[in-house]
Amino acid sequence: MKRSEVKAAQQRASKLFEKVGIVLSPSELDHIEVASFGLGELETQGLELVTYVNTNRYCAKELVLFPHQTCPEHRHPSVEGEPGKMETFRCRYGKVFLYVEGTPTAAIQSIVPAGSEPYYTVFHEIVLHPGEQYTIPPDTLHWFQAGAEGAVVSEFSSTSRDEFDMFTDPRIQRMPVIIEDI
């Protein structure tokens, strides 16, 4: 992903944080992580986030999803004998369609990103509106997508080890690779 694309996504995310009333420091605004997952499809498969704290006991983040943007299917496995991440998503703005293991919903409300259909396998739908939350157990396959106006989600979890996340799609690179514009 080009640095100019990262900057543009950071600016969009900061405007959404501001709209929702989430105040971030200048340093946090400059370091909004733009996760494009190496797919080159940020508008459909991506995520913008700020990590407030991540220690060996707990983690707190703010997530931004642009309209209909999807965080691809993944799970948080055990790492070095420690249980995988357990996370609670609390919707702050917009609508979030969360999919987890369980009985598939007959007609889901999201659109699986074109060309990635084989990599989305869980379809038990949970819809989160502002003020609603859901806790995902460790090592549980899940994915989520914003509604038409985008979404802001607060995440509270046990320690986050993003580099160990296991994605269903083998093409995904979790850690961002940024190249300089020419």
pLDDT in tens, 133-157: 999 999 999 999 999 999 999 999 9
Q: What is the pLDDT of residue 165?
A: 94
Q: Which residues contact 123 (CB under 8 A, 6 or more apart)?
A: 99, 104, 105, 108
Domain covering 3-167 in this structure, CATH number? 2.60.120.10
Q: What are phi and psi of 51, to 5 degrees?
A: -100, 120
**Residue 152 · residue 92 · CB < 8 Å:** yes
Q: What is the pLDDT of residue 67?
A: 98
Structure confidence by residue, pLDDT tens digits, 59-109: 999 999 999 999 999 999 999 999 999 999 999 999 999 999 999 999 999
The per-residue pLDDT of the chain, averaged, comes to 95
